[in-house]
Amino acid sequence: MGYKLLAKQEIGKLYEKLAKQYEVYAPIKKGIEVNWSKIEDLGDILFDFKNSSLSPKGLFFPQTEVMFEFKNDPKAEEGYILKEVPPLPKTRVLLNIRPCDAKAFSILDKVFMRDEDSLDVYWKDKRDKTVLIGLACNNPCNTCFCTEVNSSPFGEDGLDVLMVDLGDKLILKGITDRGNSLIEDFEEAESSVASKIDDLKKSAESKIKTKLSMGNILSREMLEVYEHSYWDRLHESCINCGACTFYCPTCHCFDIQDETKGEYGRRVRNWDTCMSWLFTHHASGHNPRGTKKHRVRQRFMHKFKYMPFKLDGDIGCVGCGRCIQVCPVNIDVRDVVNNMNK
Amino acid sequence: MLEGYTKEIREAAKRLIRDKKVDCVIGYSKGSIPLVDAPYFAYTEEECENLVWSGFCTKNLAKYLIKRLGKNALVAQGCVSRSIVGLINENQVKRENVYILGIWSPGMVDRRKVLERVGGKEIIDVKEDEEKLVVIGDGWEEEIKRKEVLRQNCYTCASRNAVLFDEFIGEKKESKGGGDIDNVAAPWEKLSIDERWEKFRETFKECIRCYACRNVCPLCYCAECFVDESRPQWCGKTQDEADVYTFHILRAFHCAGRCVDCGACESACPMGIKMRVLTSKLEKDIRNMYGYEPGMELGAIPPLSVYRPDDPENFITP
Ligand code: SF4
Ligand code: SF4
Ligand code: SF4
Ligand code: SF4
């Protein structure tokens, strides 16, 4: 299918169409922050933004998520019988998601839905019920480096529709059947837009100045990278907070807790972070990642060595640059990768 | 970067390494993004060339002294030197193991204020001197007076000059931030209980519990923080209000009579949460009731670590 055209002024047409079937979420501005939020007012939809502060990962993998509930009373008839939590009540669309974030979720699909026997039902439910309409980046940030991790500011991985901002117009490109059916009523764009999009794509890609080298990381033996002398220095300044992992669209570790209050009981999962000393701390007291060095190394080894090894070459980083923006001590993943590669 | 100070820090650091006075000099290096400088550990004379001094040295380097082996030099402005004093008084750091490169702080910059000032536009570079910043973006630049974008704690600083040092970098300068801490501390005091609760919820509702505020703070050195303990579990792990608020209230209380108002917690918070609203109230009470300011004097005893028969009791609910 070809390209569709939509005047920006008429974004309402798209919104109305979406709002009939879906709950619409989009990044909106609040002060200097851009946050994902349910759209109630058409005027809140933004085109002039870099990326959302926090990634939209919480919409698929909430920071705190109830897995099931139970009556905390073994003697009661219903006691200790697990009650499923209801699935997502309504289908949703994420409008103006950036290509890096959409790609992150297709990488996470390989983690949460690797095979039929170990489906993460919570993730799957939300993924199945969410359409992603992306907005290509004409002007990536200084900290963006998607091109260095197998993506592009115009990347299509994981998207149903990709929109390209031409100033007063949007070009809509259907990518999946689901996406195509959403935009089929819109005006057909002239075929010449393809080359225009291509120019914009090249221009956006050329704005990314970061160069990452990963050849050695990928080709060297696992243990060789693990024992790189660089780790002895990198961890020194890290304060082992969770900012980098919580902001990262591809970090996906969680910690499970059972909670009871009187007769009510539930199991919840919460975002975890490999930076915490509690992460993988064993009940025996043994901690396989007992020092700061172990923990910092885990984050980068996981993304740039273990994940590509396990996930058919997919890197566990999409180059969104959020961790660079939020790290209180300025640990910069771009420097880390280039040093790991030395 | 402030060039004069930077040069002097590098000279002093190289000398200390060369003369084997210390194993490492802990300071800052230029950050990879504007308005953020990075804690840096220099072990060689060559590495000392990366040290800088700037308006973006917003962490509290005293944190790194805790449990650190060997002898270290540390670049310390007023609040950081006060934290070192606190850590020595609390037996966490040995005086003889730290060589303090005392320095004056021009008042550190609040990155969020600068971003707000330029309407959230992307900043590519920044230049500074003691009075002003020049913020540079793609095709624009803006001059901003430093005093308009300082961190809140720097306006009411009690000592910009290091209070304890082995050597002072540059000249001592005006030491007071200028603002009256008792005027701005504890902004909720006058509110009714309900209003206070509302403000409290409003302030902390976006916390994502990344613990950057805790982990950056030199007071938070407990072997196991109460939020991490599971037997018993004092605080739940979820994003439920009760769990988030318990963390903040208890952490603040643990800092009472010890917080030097370095502002590192607020600077580290990715969500822009102003948690000093709690510590500033506690410190105000400590000043008023015990006449005590933490980190000002070696050997001083933090009032809440001792009991005296004449301790004020009027805040205890009968
Ligand atoms: S790398 Fe930075 S953000 Fe991540 S844990 Fe360390 S200090 Fe925190
Ligand atoms: S590691 Fe950093 S740059 Fe990479 S995806 Fe995560 S937050 Fe983005
Ligand atoms: S740094 Fe900010 S977001 Fe993180 S735990 Fe502290 S207050 Fe919450
Ligand atoms: S609570 Fe905040 S202001 Fe007080 S000493 Fe700790 S980091 Fe500094």
Rounded distance from Cα A230 to ligand 1 centre (Å): 16
Chain B residues with CB inside 8 Å of A32's CB? Answer: 112, 115-116, 119-120
Rounded distance from Cα B187 to ligand 4 centre (Å): 17
Q: pLDDT tens, B211-224?
A: 999 999 999 999 99
Chain A residues with CB inside 8 Å of B40's CB? Answer: 237
Chain A residues with CB inside 8 Å of B115's CB? Answer: 32
From the CA of B285, how many Å to the nearest CA of chain A? 30
**Order of all β-strands in the sheet with A264-271:** A83-84, A64-71, A264-271, A254-261
| CA B260 to the chain's CA centroid | 7
Q: pLDDT tens, B142-197?
A: 999 999 999 999 999 999 999 999 999 999 999 999 999 998 998 899 999 999 99
From the CA of B219, how many Å to the nearest CA of chain A? 13
Residue ranges of B 40-69 with Cβ closer than 8 A to chain A:
40-41, 59, 63-64
Query: What region does B105 belong to: left with phi over 0, alpha with psi -120 to 50, or beta?
Result: beta
Answer whether residue A69 shows pLDDT above 80. yes
Rounded distance from Cα B166 to ligand 4 centre (Å): 24
Ligand 3 binding pocket includes B211 (Cβ within 6 Å): yes
Ligand 4 binding pocket includes B283 (Cβ within 6 Å): no
Ligand 4 binding pocket includes B60 (Cβ within 6 Å): yes
Contacts of A252 (CB under 8 A, 6+ apart): A57, A61, A108, A111, A112
Task: Name the residue of B210, B214, B266, B276 to mutate for ligand 3: max ligand atoms within 8 A of Cβ.
Answer: B210
Phi, psi of A50 (to 5 degrees): -85, -70
CB contact under 8 A, B212 and A242: yes
Contacts of A304 (CB under 8 A, 6+ apart): A214, A217, A315, A316, A317, A337, A340
Name the strand (E) or helix (H) holding A83: strand A83-84
CB contact under 8 A, A141 and B212: no
Question: Which residue of A32, A52, A53, A260 to mutate against B (max B Cβ within 10 Å)?
Answer: A32
Domain ranges of chain B: 3-110+150-302, 111-149
Read off the pLDDT of each residue in B73-99 and give the average, rounded to a whole number.
Answer: 98
Read off the pLDDT of each residue in A238-250 and give the average, rounded to a whole number.
Answer: 97
Q: Six-digit token pair at A46?
A: 């933004």
Task: Name the residue of A145, A245, A274, A320 to mutate for ligand 2: max ligand atoms within 8 A of Cβ.
Answer: A320
Among B122, B212, B239, beta carbon nearest to A63: B239
CB contact under 8 A, B238 and A259: yes
The predicted pLDDT at position A2 comes to: 80
Q: pLDDT tens, A216-231?
A: 999 999 999 999 999 9
From the CA of A32, how many Å to the nearest CA of chain B? 5
Read off the pLDDT of each residue in A266-290 and give the average, rounded to a whole number.
Answer: 94
SS3 A51: coil
Residue B205 DSSP label: T
- Upstream peptide bond of B232 is cis (omega within 30 degrees of 0): yes
Answer whether residue B318 shows pLDDT above 90. no
| Chain B CB within 8 Å of residue A58 CB | no
Question: Which residue of B63, B149, B210 to mutate against A (max A Cβ within 10 Å)?
Answer: B210
| CA B140 to the chain's CA centroid | 32
How far is residue A249's CA from residue A232's CA, in Å, rounded to a whole number? 27
- Residue identifier of the C-alpha nearest atom 6 of ligand 1: A238
Answer whether residue A110 shows pLDDT above 80. yes
| Chain B CB within 8 Å of residue A287 CB | no
Share of residues in chain A with pLDDT > 70 (%): 100
Among A32, A257, A326, beta carbon nearest to B237: A257
Answer whether residue B120 shows pLDDT above 70. yes
Share of residues in chain B with pLDDT > 90 (%): 92
Ligand 4 binding pocket includes B76 (Cβ within 6 Å): no
Q: pLDDT tens, A112-139?
A: 999 888 899 999 999 999 999 999 999 9
Answer whether residue A191 shows pLDDT above 90. no
Q: Six-digit token pair at B229?
A: 């303990």
Name the strand (E) or helix (H) holding A95: strand A92-97
Amino acid, res. B171: E
The predicted pLDDT at position A62 comes to: 98
Q: pLDDT tens, B221-246?
A: 999 999 999 889 999 999 999 999 99
Decide: residue A172, CB within 10 A, 0-12 exposed, 13-18 middle, 19+ buried. Answer: buried
